[in-house]
A and B are shown apart, each in its own frame.
Chain A
């Protein structure tokens, strides 16, 4: 039985920044508008079982965060489907906290939104505070926090909300070593409980430490999925090769790959927006009713 199944998933962004065109598209329900599609992910396809810990590898801008957002169901794929059995919790550097509120308020609101009862929150509050090591700072607004503090708080909240699937998006790279180790210990507990973990990183170190599976995304495409050792080996080889290039060559390579990604995107057909005739009919009816209401009001003045 799979825990997470990613089926031919693509995430397509429209990078047409022409404002007038956008407004026009809103008014005409997508007609009269030429989108400029760009796929951040294309045809990603894999399946993960309970108890697996999956590393998501890739260079900067390859689509790792897009993929983790999709798995966390924070965004929706443009094409394809993601099936998830269980509740997800995503930990990212920009932890999804309200900047204006204090750490304490964020803990309570986040936990409520994750479906915890107030009693459960009261029980866990001290644990969360202790784990986050924020101490007195918990009464400060999040906007005054350092990035390490934010990620600590985000991590502390996320692991206390009983997720079945934990997604860690580079959140450990900003904290210090001791905190990272504490988190890794906690994640090992999760592993033992048979929970599924996704671990996003551009470096192989931590993935080697505790993942058994890995996905390598490269410029929006899935290069490889399988046993961690195989994928990491291939990825490390690639990174070494890449590192041996001169600065100019590296930039040239990146530009070339993005160019290909752009080029490929042009041939992509965006999923057509279907106009639901049912809705149009009801909308028209209601519109006519409104017109009647206005006319009636005019005559009864």
Chain B
């Protein structure tokens, strides 16, 4: 329990640094581009454009609506949210091994490295969320009050992905093979999470898989918050309990693993 507080304290004390470094990283990413930081907005906008050409103009045939929104919007929200979740997991899992050059010769709390690598994704996802919000507002998809659930989505996603990152950032260094396994597990989740298919009218097996897929919970929470009419939250009590019981357990294990190995990771490289 002491470790949990230590981790929260480390991150809280370095909040300003995390923010500064991730802003700097985004700036550096587009440093040699003529349009510079504008690309942070153009990239997701271009993504929407591509999907619009393929699915919106009917190149792939009319896919019909999903609940109250066109398939295009359904797909975009899925792609954005899943990209954010998997981006956070990947970044956090590789946070220590990719930054090791910077930290081997100085004192720096490695849990902050994880937050730093995730902060990039958070900022780019905020821009994507704004794009979705604009689409939703223009078409009157969701209710304004429901938009607030977005904060719940962010909170849940950050805790969930951070927990996995805490575990995998240590494990990936101790046992390299896990990196490859992780890549394939994420690929599998891309298909068993309702990104480009709709849950309704699927075989019952798919429904069962969805119920036990925390990524599906997060993804649908995002959609219920921003685009679907109907309730503000996705799922019933059992879905919420399932997600949070798993997340809390992963978080606790993650903190233990992290504090057990953080001082020794340098010895393993």
* Residue-wise interface mask of A (24-59) relative to B, using a CB-CB cutoff of 8 A (1 in contact, 0 not): 001000000000000000000000000000000000
Contact B241 A293 (CB under 8 A): yes
Which residues of B lie under 8 Å from residue A301 when comparing CB positions?
A: 207-208, 211
Q: What residues of B have a CB within 8 angstroms of the CB of A97 in the complex?
A: 101-102
Q: When the two chains form the complex, which single residue of A69, A98, A109, A286 contacts B24, counting CB atoms closer than 8 Å?
A: A109
Tell me whether A278 and B246 are in contact in the complex, defined as CB-CB below 8 angstroms, given that A72-B107, A98-B99, A113-B102 are known contacts: no
> Quick one: closest B residue to A77, CB to CB?
B263
| B256 and A74 within 8 A (CB) | no
Q: Quick check: B106 and A76 within 8 Å, CB to CB?
A: no
Contacts of B208 in A (CB 8 A): 301
Cβ of A196 within 8 Å of any chain B Cβ, yes or no, is no
On chain B, the residues within 8 Å of A90 by CB distance are 105-106
Whether the pair A75, B263 counts as a contact (CB closer than 8 A) is: yes
Which 9 A-B pairs rank lowest in CB-CB distance, beginning with the nearest? A96-B105, A293-B245, A300-B238, A73-B107, A76-B263, A297-B242, A290-B249, A290-B245, A293-B242
Bound Cα distance from A257 to B249, whole angstroms: 49
Q: Closest approach, in angstroms, between the C-beta of B237 and any C-beta of chain A?
A: 8
Cα distance, A96 to B245, chains bound together (Å): 40
Report chain B residues within 8 Å CB of A14: 267
Contact partner, A118, options B20, B175, B252, Cβ 8 Å: B20
Report the minimum CB–CB distance from A275 to chain B (whole Å).
Answer: 10
B239 within 8 A of A: yes
In the assembled complex, 28 residue pairs joining A and B whose CB atoms fall closer than 8 Å, in A order, are A23-B175, A26-B174, A72-B107, A73-B107, A74-B105, A74-B266, A75-B263, A89-B106, A96-B102, A96-B104, A97-B101, A98-B101, A105-B28, A109-B24, A110-B102, A113-B21, A113-B108, A115-B17, A278-B1, A279-B3, A286-B248, A286-B249, A293-B238, A293-B242, A294-B245, A297-B212, A297-B238, A297-B242
- Write out the residue numbers on chain B whose beta carbons fall within 8 Å of the beta carbon of A101: 28
Return the CB mask of B242-267 against A: 1 if under 8 Å, else 0: 11111011001100100000010011
Q: Is there an interface contact between A296 and B105, defined as CB atoms closer than 8 Å?
A: no
Q: Does A88 contact B (CB under 8 A)?
A: yes
Say yes or no: is A287 at the interface (Cβ < 8 Å to chain B). Answer: yes
Contacts of A72 in B (CB 8 A): 105-107
> Does A282 lie within 8 Å of B236, measured CB to CB?
no
Q: Does A160 sit at the interface, judged by CB under 8 A?
A: no
CB contacts (< 8 Å) of A98 on chain B: these are 99, 101-102
CB of A283 within 8 A of chain B?
A: yes
Bound-complex Cα distance A286 to B246 (A): 9
Given A73-B106, A98-B101, A112-B24, 14 more pairs with CB closer than 8 A: A23-B175, A73-B107, A279-B3, A283-B253, A286-B245, A287-B249, A289-B245, A289-B249, A293-B242, A293-B244, A297-B211, A300-B236, A301-B208, A301-B211
In the assembled complex, A99 has its CB within 8 A of some CB on chain B: yes
Minimum distance in angstroms from B115 CB to a CB of chain A: 13
CA distance A279 to B61 in the complex (A): 56
| Complex CA–CA separation, A108 to B1 (angstroms) | 35
- A96 lies within 8 A of B107 (CB): no
Contact with A along B1-16 (1 / 0, CB 8 A): 1010000000000000
Bound: A200/B102 CA distance, A: 21
Which chain A residues lie closer than 8 Å to B253 at the CB level? 283
Report the Cα distance A99→B256, complex, angstroms.
31
B252 contacts across to A, CB distance below 8 A: 282-283, 286
Q: How far is the CB of B138 from chain A (nearest CB, A)?
A: 37
User: CB of A95 within 8 A of chain B?
Assistant: yes
- Contact of B266 with A75 in the complex, beta carbons under 8 Å: yes
Residues of A within 8 A of B105 (CB): 69, 72, 74, 90, 92, 94-96
Q: Which residues of B contact A279 (CB under 8 A)?
A: 1, 3, 256
Q: Could you say which of B17, B246, B253 has the most chain A C-beta atoms within 10 Å of its C-beta?
A: B246
The docked-state distance in angstroms from the alpha carbon of A90 to that of B212 is: 48
Instruction: Check: B38 CB closer than 8 A to any chain A CB.
Output: no
* Cβ–Cβ contact B211 & A112, under 8 A: no
- In the bound complex, residues from chain A placing their C-beta under 8 Å from that of B137 are none
Closest Cβ neighbor of A68 among chain B residues: B105
Assess the A113–B106 pair: CB atoms within 8 A. Answer: yes
Chain B residue numbers with a CB within 8 Å of A290 are 245-246, 248-249
Give the residues in chain B near A89, CB-CB below 8 Å: 106
Q: Is B103 an interface residue (CB 8 A)?
A: yes
A5 to B246, CA, bound (A): 44
* Cα–Cα distance between A72 and B108 once the two chains are bound (Å): 11
